[in-house]
Amino acid sequence: MGQTSTTETNGPPPKYDAAAVERGKTTFVGACGFCHGSNAKGGEKGPDLLRSVLVLDDENGNTIGPFILRGRPDKGMPRFPFTPQQIADIAAFLHDSIKNAIERDNYKILDIVTGDPRAGAAFFNGAGHCNSCHSVTGDLKGIGARYEPVTLQGKFLQPDYTWTEGTPPHLVSAISVTVTLPSGESFSGALEHYDDFNVALRDGNGAYRSFTRANGVPRVEIHNRLQAHVDLLSRYTDSDIHNLTAYLVSLK
């Protein structure tokens, strides 16, 4: 058997430009969060990128760049015509996320309830438009008593894309699709697959339906029940997040 060499890395972990990380996060969430999750840890269709060998071997976008530009139509991943700067920013966001995941055991989460609940209520009922989907006397009643603050904050920043609802309870996906044929006949259901050439769904009866696409036919409309959460990720300020967390925690 041959000898095995071990490379030992010394010194602190690399630091990534905060502005580049933030730009990368915004671009990633808007274009890639649909499949890979807003935190890049995997979503409805895409894998966990923080564990991806392709990403781990990347340096400043040199390996993920060609992959992003080329896409994987056979796997449902479209091409994205990003600029070199956008790709470098996405790489910074992903590598910074990996670094934070590695260091997660090196710090203790302290009290994150540092915001103003009154300002959080104003955001909830005003600029955030949260009350257009949620009610503090309905689905959010007593939510501050059901979850720890850090868990509660994570639920509105990175919500689950599947959940149960109804009576009897049944599994629901946030992502649905409507396919309309030239005849006007349409089919709706949970999105199973989508690329430049095919779209597939599973309807309410559990039937799998697949359609070939060409030149925009049939018409495909994708619906994300959590789109409001995705849109807010690029609009939140740190104060908004802290204030909203403080307000939700107060709903005992």
- Whether the predicted model's global pTM rises above the 0.85 cut: no
The closest of 117, 66, 121, 120 to 91, measured between CA atoms, is 66
Exposure class string for 156-193: b at 16+ Cβ within 10 A, else e: bbbeebeeeeeeeeeeebbbbbbbeeeeeeebebbbbe
Residue 57 lies in a domain: yes
- The DSSP symbol for 137 reads T
The domain tally of the chain equals 3
One domain, residues 244 and 121? yes
Instruction: Report the CATH number that the domain containing residue 25 is assigned in CATH.
Output: 1.10.760.10
Counting other chains too, the contacts that 217-223 makes at CB distance below 8 Å and 24 or more residues apart are 217/182, 218/179, 218/180, 218/181, 218/182, 219/179, 219/180, 220/177, 220/178, 220/179, 220/194, 221/177, 221/178, 221/179, 221/180, 222/175, 222/176, 222/177, 222/191, 222/194, 223/175, 223/176, 223/177, 223/178
Q: What is the pLDDT of residue 243?
A: 94
Q: What is the pLDDT of residue 246?
A: 95
One domain, residues 147 and 178? no
Q: Are strands 219-224 and 175-180 parallel, antiparallel or unpaired?
A: antiparallel
How many residues are present in the chain?
252
Residue 11 lies in a domain: no
One domain, residues 179 and 216? yes
- Which tens digit of pLDDT belongs to each residue from 174-205? 889 999 999 999 999 988 888 889 999 999 88
Residue 145 sits in which domain range? 117-160+228-249
Q: What is the pLDDT of residue 104?
A: 61
Q: How far apart are CA 164 and CA 169, in angstroms?
A: 6
- Which tens digit of pLDDT belongs to each residue from 134-158? 999 999 999 999 998 888 988 898 8
In this structure, what are the phi and psi dihedrals at residue 6, rounded to the nearest 5 degrees? Answer: -120, 130
Q: What is the pLDDT of residue 145?
A: 93
**Across residues 113-128, what is the average pLDDT?**
95
One domain, residues 154 and 242? yes
Q: Which of 3-7, 43-47, 106-110 has the lowest mean pLDDT?
A: 3-7
- Which tens digit of pLDDT belongs to each residue from 15-71? 788 899 999 888 888 888 778 887 888 876 778 888 888 888 888 889 898 988 888
Q: Which of 106, 130, 147 is the last residue of a domain?
A: 106
One domain, residues 101 and 201? no
Residue 37 lies in a domain: yes
One domain, residues 146 and 77? no
One domain, residues 133 and 237? yes
CA 226 to chain centre: 10
One domain, residues 221 and 242? no
One domain, residues 74 and 178? no
